[in-house]
Structure 1
Amino acid sequence: MKIITYLSALFSLLLVSNSLIAQSIEGRITTIKDKELEYVTVKLIRDTTILQYVASDQNGKFTFKNLIEKSTYRLKLQHTGFEDLDTTFISGDFKKMTFKMSEKVNKLNEVVVNANKPLLERKVDRLVFNVQNSMASLSGDAMDVLKVTPLVMAENESLSIIGKGSVTVMVNDKILRISGDDLTSYLRSIPSGSIESVEVITVPPSKYSASGNAGILNIKLKKIVNDFWSASIRSIYTQTTYPTINLGAGFNYKKNRFSLYSSLNMTEGSVLFTEKPHVTYSTQDWETLSKKRSFTKLYNGRLQTEYKISEKFSIGAQAFLNSSKPHSNDKTLTNISQRTGLLDSIIKGNGYQNSTTQSLALNFNSTYSLGKDGQEIILDIDHYRSNYDNFRDFNSETFDPSDSPILNNEWYSGNVGQNVFTNTSFNIDVEQKIKKFDINYGVNFSTSLNKNELQSVATSGRIDTIFNYSDEFEFRENIGSLFFSFGSAISKKIDFKAGLRLENTNTEGVSNTLATKYENNYLKLFPTLYTSYKMNDKNVFSIGYGRRIDRPAFMAMNPFARYISKYYYTVGNPYLLPSFSHNIEINYSNNRDLNLSLYTNFAKEQIAQTAIPFENSKMVVDTMQNFYDMSTIGFTAIYTLQKSNWLESNFVFNGYHRSIKQYDTNIVPDYKVNVVYLSMDNNFKISKKLNTQLSSFYYSPQITGIFRRSPRFNVNLNFRYKINDQWDLALFANDILKTQQGKLNAIVNGVQQSYDNYYDSRSLRLTVSYRFGSMNINARQRNFINEKEKQRAY
């Protein structure tokens, strides 16, 4: 009897316990037309207390757990462009609920205005790709999003704007100017689902640094709400010729006035670089095959805190630590033939290179609100320091046609370099509204110091010294800037915006060994001007103008010679001058589906890296010079197709004429070329959980620096699978046909040279990500003001 009583009591206790904590509710949100709604904010409320926030997933679903049975709860649903929905329910009565939200529609003079954002928006000074409305936001990262952003070209993990060149990357209006593997690793750490939009700013306003000719990519992350924590883990496996693994983790926390954001990332693996330079001299042909396996070992972490002292005033700090230890092995084989085709000799070489980079970036910032509509004063103080140590050795031996060694033709060389770069930056940015005008003004000061200690040694037969010399080179740069802009809606149809940036630059380079000083001081104005005319709700015209500057990298100005092989060395140019350019754009947008742009660019004293071969010595000197003036006129058409919930397509056409006038036609001849670029990106929704993407592009022959590049095209196929609310799986097949890279050829110093190179662009990448906590929240990223200078350190 006691046993029965005990079991009955235990059973009753389990029932009570289950009724107290085990209840849950699942919801599905759709439009009136039964289309799933993603990113709907759902608040769970009891009495007057908001208990939880969630956001609906790509299938319009959400879940609340651990509800007390027979308790009354309230749900409030909110989404941009839709009427709020408010309802109550009693837990336990329903397990699943369906909600239909109605769109907000306002009628003004018989014109219907819908608040939903289109996939592409043309603004007065930029093109906006609304990622959150695209299938590109599913199961990927920021690099994947940029690859499908109209006007953006992503090749070999480098980014550029079609028809222009390399581009500056920003996150939430702050410049993020790291490059190479560091930039790729950082972008891979940003989930695509946390990105609200990407702004393609081809003519940047005056508030941004005037550096860089191509423009800016600004990644805008979704905003956050209070009282949340979230964490994520990501694993990426990439197979090219060799495998590479990337692991990342993030943790974000916000409670009341305090916020903490953090991330850790690791990348290890290797890729294969194959280079086939062919140099044709008057008496000989030099044909080389070089294979280099490059290993990556990269670790970085970011920690950011913010504290809101009052409703108007907040302060924050950030630290970014990066450690990189890449190394590579290479083998080269050079066949030297007479012009008759007979083999003259063979050079066999082996090289090894390793380097170590340690960098630390610190930021202090504060924001003071001046009122509504984004009026505020922002202060940023940044400090950055990096240490870069590099070592390379190379040995080669020359053989006769019968593969027998030729005496006294051995070569051993070694290069050792140490580079220390520091930058400190101070920036004040003020946004105000004065009557009908939006006013922006501020000041920026940046000071940089780059120190190089280099040594180069070459011997013959391992004991006979050919040369042994070293140098210490220091380069200082101070840039002071003032900027001002104002804009206003002149009428309901006309917007106007103008700005001016004043930059004063002082540079000084000192070669301690050569006892030589190089100085350059200049004061320059950089005006910007924009206007737009809204003919009606479907047709909008805009015009933009801006002047830009392209400063050389610090290492490019070091006059020290570094030998790559016996017949090839690189040397910097301390006399490099900055390049200036003028950019003009005329844009037209029709119904937000069609965007047309006519653009032109005029650039003076363009900097180019050129390998100059010399006929007599057969030596190739790799250096940088202000080689040419360039003019470009082009036309771009972008058409967006998003007519159903299962298909989303972007089509891009870009055609331009480019003319290059060389300063010394004896070294490089003048060039003129007509270029066509076509791209297509299609996203298909196969089911509620599975999406696939097919994209491709074609590039006709073009000019890259001083080289002509042969036609090329690319085909990518991607699959994204949402396992559940926490797990995502994605498979990316890139450059399937191995046709992304074209051949380069040029006539330099009267010598014909061509390059048939391959840099492991064909790859298969598997991504697995796991999220938990308050998954509807993503951290707002703040970046460093001095990232632009950090990019130029190497």
Structure 2
Amino acid sequence: MVRKNFAILILIFCAILLGTTANAQTDATAQISGNITTAINEPLPYANLVVFKVSDSSMVKGAMTDDMGSFLVEELPAGKYYVSASILGFKTHISDVFDIAANEKKEFGTIQLEEENFELEGVTVTSKKPLIQNKVDRVVLNIENSILATGNTAMDILQKAPGVTVDNGVLSLIGKSNVLILINGKQTYLSQDQLKNLMNATQSSAIESIEIMTNPSAKYDAAGNAGIINIKMKKNRDDGTNVSVNLSNGQGIYRETNGGMTLNHRNKLLNIFTNYDYSDSEDFSALEVDRSTSFSERSTFFNSSSFDRFRYKTHNFKFGTDVNLTPKSSLGFIISGNFRDGDSRLKSTTEIGAQRGIVDSTVVGLNTGRFPTRYLTYNVNYSVKLDTMGTDLAFSYDYSNSRRNESFDFRNRFLDQNRIEYRPANNFRNLTPQDADIYVGKMDFTHPFNENSNLGAGLKYSSVETDNVLQFDILQDNGSYVNDERRSNQFIYNESISAAYLNYNTQLGSYSFQAGLRAERTASTGNSVTDENVVDRTYTNLFPTLFVQKKINDTNTISASYGRRIDRPNYSSLNPFVYYIDQYTFRFGNPFLKPQYTDTYNIGYLLKNKYKFDFSYSNTKDAIAFILLTDPETQSISQTDANLNGFNSYSLNVNAPIKVTDRWNTYNNLSVYYNQYKSNEIEGAPLQLEKLAWQLSTTHTFTIDDRLSAELSANYVSPNVYGVFNLKSYYGIDLGVGRTFFDDKMNVKFSINDILYTKGKRTTFSTLPNSSYDINTNYNSRIFRLSVSYEFGNIKLKSSEKRGGAEEEKNRLQ
């Protein structure tokens, strides 16, 4: 059935493609060709050539020169024209008027451009993208230019992003969780834990920029009610051979070391690129939980503390190549991988009593774990330009494989009020191998009707197959393990999503419109093999998007948008396995968890092309939230996910870059939001949790001289709510200094993350009908870091960029 529906979608797509390309080819058979060079006949690659009608000076066609400075403009109707040739750093050339007849192939010859003359008294001016750019539909962080980003991981950088908060690896955007993370425009299909590991293993030296979109168009997957964060990885576009190496060492309570290299070789026909990063880091997580339960007029008080020290050794690599098959088409191949080996040692103490402050018994735990992970992705992509107007067709296919083989040993001793063992120890282990295969195929088509309107269309099919095993073994007195079949299980989950979209953009005077529609059909099967429980689901949804923009004048723009999105449960949230954290804490999945749907409305205003104001309202049905439940018999805590009735969010976001002096720039973001969670029943009683909250971030960049610069960043997050939890406020300050040497080839940077050591200390509390929790966490957030990077080869940047290979998938495993 899925294949049949997908075949129908392909036929519809091909009909659209044939119709638009056929329309573009009607009565347009003539062509012109030529070359654009400097005054001394050196080719000018990536120069712009535009053809204009003589009658009304309207643009007819456009083209860009190739690596040899050659251009070709096809499908021109017979008539009178003139052309314009331009490129940054050279004077624009306007040609004489010329005639072209039907079916004529006119050789235009060579157009020579003169260099612009800038006399700046010997001062060399280099362009540099601002750290943060405000655009109508997104905010862009140019990570390459940040001192504080150097030596950090992707997760560290996201904590500095405007409107983004990170709590124990969970990302929120303007107060809303369920953010979709893309890497180079592609979903990762990783679980929350796996994505957290990948973000912690990805070094900033490999990242070019981060894009934040709170209301994406229909081109993007419909997942992510809070929006999309797209991490764009670096890809060298310079000709010749280029090599860069980097080394970073950080010291907090424990150390962390990162190093890597990037190599790129590019010529007219071929681009080969590779990079490798290695990191060795130690960290800790301290947790204190003060909780009480009350059932049948009997109260029990628990006070637990734990300290988890862990170490990760990570290898990241990527190798790829792009081949220019013709001047209009390219074929690419990429293989990337992440190998991570980690181990942990957690010590815990849980004191239990019938009265607060009086200990009746104690559970002492020692848990050790190993969690090796292997993640590999293979990508093949092909793109072709179908005409000189900019009609593009792109194909991409990805295969990803994830292997995890985690093992945890639990040792629990039981002591009475005199600290004497009063019952046998409870010793067991969990072996949890996981195997996942991900297949994703997609094609995207773009056709400009003219310079003011274009149509985008695409198809996508993804299939995820996961096999999870939980082997629960009990340690015997003789030192051997015996499997407990009652608490062991196998869970197989398969999910496929077929999608198609149409997206139309047009500009009418000072108004711009974008309308899109995305259809997604989901079919899933969750099979709990041991329990013989199978849950099948099939559902189809439409996700419309609408954007309207009014340009008031050259510097002020107002916009409005609407979009509908979906968040499907993570695979771990559906897995019914019971995973033990300690003697009295465990987590399990809910195989009957439903997807949540969000409608988002936004009004935006861009003032003076830099100050951005956004007011948004979103309504989420069947909101998925993390909750804690208490067993009245054992008094143990269980962690799981559940569907609440709804979630409403009202938010105001202000982004204001301010230039204080020529050498001092600031980037400031304020988010104010009111979140409201509702549920008919949590532990036997209705829930309504709501709060007005705000967060402020500011980044200051200082240019001390041509080689020396500094950066200061600070943020504050007020008390807020999430699901059934109240979160207390936190804040932090970061500082960094950087200097270049040897004609900017060497870059040395020193930074301090979380100077006041306040970010890593978080407090969460929850009050439910029969229980209350006060949770304090602490992690290694203050890091002193020294980083050095060096570039070899050709480091002179091109004035224009040429499109590289595609990429696009991965986010919900486990």
Per the normalisation by structure 2, the TM-score is 0.80
Partner of residue 419, structure 1: 434
2:139 maps to 1:127 = yes
Q: Is the 8 A contact 1:424 1:448 kept in 2?
A: yes
**What letter corresponds to residue 791 of structure 2 in structure 1?**
R
- Correspondent of 1:486 among 504, 519, 527: 504
1:457, distance to aligned residue in structure 2 (A): 2.7
- Call closer, same or farther: CA 1:679–1:482 in 2, change over 3 Å: same
Name the CA distance, whole Å, in 1 between partners of 2:669 and 2:681: 36
Q: Is the 8 A contact 1:223 1:780 kept in 2?
A: no
2:760 maps to 1:737 = no
Partner of residue 534, structure 1: 551
Q: Is the 8 A contact 2:38 2:114 kept in 1?
A: no
Partner of residue 441, structure 1: 457
Q: How does 1:30-429 map to 2 (within 5 A)?
A: 48-49=41-42, 78=88, 86=115, 98=122, 122-129=134-141, 143=154, 146=158, 148-153=160-165, 159-175=171-187, 179-190=195-206, 195=208, 198-219=210-231, 227-282=239-294, 283-339=299-355, 341-372=357-388, 374-408=390-424, 410-429=425-444
User: Could you list the per-position Cα deviations for residues 197-233 of structure 1 after superposition, in whole angstroms to 9, with x for gaps in the alignment?
Assistant: 5432110111111111121223457886563221111
- Correspondent of 2:647 among 601, 611, 630: 630
User: Could you list the per-position Cα deviations for residues 528-577 of structure 1 after superposition, in whole angstroms to 9, with x for gaps in the alignment?
Assistant: 00011111122210111111111112122121222222222221111111
User: Could you list the per-position Cα deviations for residues 79-123 of structure 1 after superposition, in whole angstroms to 9, with x for gaps in the alignment?
Assistant: 5999997389xxxxxxx99367899xxxxxxxxxxxx98876554
Name the CA distance, whole Å, in 2 between partners of 1:342 and 1:220: 55
* Local SS of the residue matching 2:779: coil
Q: Is the 8 A contact 1:222 1:780 kept in 2?
A: no
Name the CA distance, whole Å, in 2 between partners of 1:125 and 1:483: 19
Partner of residue 446, structure 2: 431
**What letter corresponds to residue 405 of structure 2 in structure 1?**
D
1:645, distance to aligned residue in structure 2 (A): 2.6
* Local SS of the residue matching 1:184: helix
* Local SS of the residue matching 1:182: helix
User: Could you list the per-position Cα deviations for residues 387-419 of structure 1 after superposition, in whole angstroms to 9, with x for gaps in the alignment?
Assistant: 1111111111111222111133x1112101111
Structure 1 range deviating more: 676-685 or 493-502 = 676-685
Name the CA distance, whole Å, in 1 between partners of 2:228 and 2:282: 30
* Local SS of the residue matching 2:327: coil
Partner of residue 561, structure 1: 578
1:626, distance to aligned residue in structure 2 (A): 1.5
2:634 maps to 1:610 = no
Structure 2: unaligned runs, 5 residues or longer: 1-35, 47-85, 94-112
* Local SS of the residue matching 2:778: coil
* Local SS of the residue matching 1:208: coil
Name the CA distance, whole Å, in 2 between partners of 1:758 and 1:256: 53
1:48, distance to aligned residue in structure 2 (A): 3.3
1:432, distance to aligned residue in structure 2 (A): 0.6
**What letter corresponds to residue 232 of structure 1 in structure 2?**
S
2:747 maps to 1:728 = yes
Aligned CA RMSD, in angstroms, stands at: 3.3
Name the CA distance, whole Å, in 1 between partners of 2:222 and 2:197: 25
Structure 1 range deviating more: 660-669 or 700-709 = 660-669
**What letter corresponds to residue 48 of structure 1 in structure 2?**
N
Per the normalisation by structure 1, the TM-score is 0.82
Name the CA distance, whole Å, in 1 between partners of 2:804 and 2:367: 41
- Call closer, same or farther: CA 1:388–1:754 in 2, change over 3 Å: same
Q: Is the 8 A contact 1:254 1:260 kept in 2?
A: yes
* Local SS of the residue matching 2:627: strand
User: Could you list the per-position Cα deviations for residues 494-538 of structure 1 after superposition, in whole angstroms to 9, with x for gaps in the alignment?
Assistant: 100010000000001112211221111100000000011111122
1:729, distance to aligned residue in structure 2 (A): 1.2
Name the CA distance, whole Å, in 1 between partners of 2:278 and 2:284: 20
**What letter corresponds to residue 115 of structure 2 in structure 1?**
D
* Local SS of the residue matching 1:348: strand
Partner of residue 5, structure 1: none
- Correspondent of 2:772 among 752, 755, 759: 752
* Local SS of the residue matching 2:199: helix
Structure 1 range deviating more: 776-785 or 386-395 = 776-785
* Local SS of the residue matching 2:623: strand
Structure 1 range deviating more: 590-599 or 774-783 = 774-783
Partner of residue 674, structure 1: 692
Name the CA distance, whole Å, in 2 between partners of 1:458 and 1:580: 42
1:723, distance to aligned residue in structure 2 (A): 2.5
Q: Is the 8 A contact 2:703 2:710 kept in 1?
A: yes
- Call closer, same or farther: CA 1:597–1:425 in 2, change over 3 Å: same
Name the CA distance, whole Å, in 1 between partners of 2:500 and 2:598: 20
* Local SS of the residue matching 2:372: strand
Name the CA distance, whole Å, in 2 between partners of 1:335 and 1:85: 81
Name the CA distance, whole Å, in 2 between partners of 1:340 and 1:172: 52
Name the CA distance, whole Å, in 2 between partners of 1:160 and 1:81: 47
User: Could you list the per-position Cα deviations for residues 144-180 of structure 1 after superposition, in whole angstroms to 9, with x for gaps in the alignment?
Assistant: 7655543334566765422222533445544456622
1:676, distance to aligned residue in structure 2 (A): 1.5
Name the CA distance, whole Å, in 1 between partners of 2:221 and 2:336: 21
Name the CA distance, whole Å, in 2 between partners of 1:97 and 1:774: 26
Name the CA distance, whole Å, in 1 between partners of 2:153 and 2:584: 41
User: Could you list the per-position Cα deviations for residues 278-322 of structure 1 after superposition, in whole angstroms to 9, with x for gaps in the alignment?
Assistant: 111232211011000011011121111110110111111110122
Name the CA distance, whole Å, in 2 between partners of 1:242 and 1:323: 22
Name the CA distance, whole Å, in 2 between partners of 1:414 and 1:550: 33
Q: Is the 8 A contact 2:752 2:783 kept in 1?
A: yes
User: Could you list the per-position Cα deviations for residues 452-473 of structure 1 after superposition, in whole angstroms to 9, with x for gaps in the alignment?
Assistant: 1211134586789794442221
Partner of residue 648, structure 1: 665
**What letter corresponds to residue 772 of structure 2 in structure 1?**
Q
Q: Is the 8 A contact 2:469 2:491 kept in 1?
A: yes
**What letter corresponds to residue 756 of structure 1 in structure 2?**
N
Q: Is the 8 A contact 2:278 2:314 kept in 1?
A: yes
- Call closer, same or farther: CA 1:137–1:275 in 2, change over 3 Å: closer
Structure 1: unaligned runs, 5 residues or longer: 1-42, 54-75, 89-95, 104-115
- Call closer, same or farther: CA 1:130–1:292 in 2, change over 3 Å: closer
* Local SS of the residue matching 2:694: strand
Name the CA distance, whole Å, in 1 between partners of 2:345 and 2:91: 57
